[in-house]
Structure 1
Amino acid sequence: MDVKRALEIYTDKNSTIEVKLEGQPVWIENVDEEHGMATVQVGSRPTNTHTVKVERLQEG
């Protein structure tokens, strides 16, 4: 995924778009456009967050 698409998914509050990190479902919590990074919540635990390169995220 690229930064632009990650930002679109993050800012779209009207849709639920499936995103995965290494096969695990995640929620995008923040996108750092300048550095190409995203903070994601893995699974259903709000405390289980990771900051990763957006290229590691997959849609669908």
Structure 2
Amino acid sequence: MDVKRAMDIYQDKSTISVKLEGEPVWIENVDEVNGMATVQVGSRPANTQTVKVERLQEEH
């Protein structure tokens, strides 16, 4: 995924399925300058990771 698409998903009001290495994640923040995203892994709010947006995959 690219930074623009990550921002679109982050700002969208609907639920868009995104995965990180097969695991469902929620995008919590996107750092456009550095191409990074902070994501919540699964349903545990405390389980967050900051990853390159290229590692995120949108489910179609």
Name the TM-score class by shorter chain.
over 0.9
Report the alpha carbon displacement of residue 38 of structure 1 after superposing the two structures with TM: 0.1
Aligned residue pairs: how many? Answer: 59
What's the counterpart of residue 4 of structure 1?
Answer: 4
Structure 2: segments with no counterpart, 5+ residues: none
Kindly report the root-mean-square deviation, in angstroms, between the aligned alpha carbons of the 2 structures.
0.3
1:37 paired with 2:17, answer no
**Identity percentage over the alignment?**
83
TM-score normalised by structure 2 residue count: 0.97
Gaps of 5+ in 1: none
Question: Equivalent residues in 2 for 1:16-55 (5 A)?
Answer: 16-55=15-54
Large movers: runs of 4+ above 4 Å: none
Q: Normalising by structure 1, what TM-score?
A: 0.97
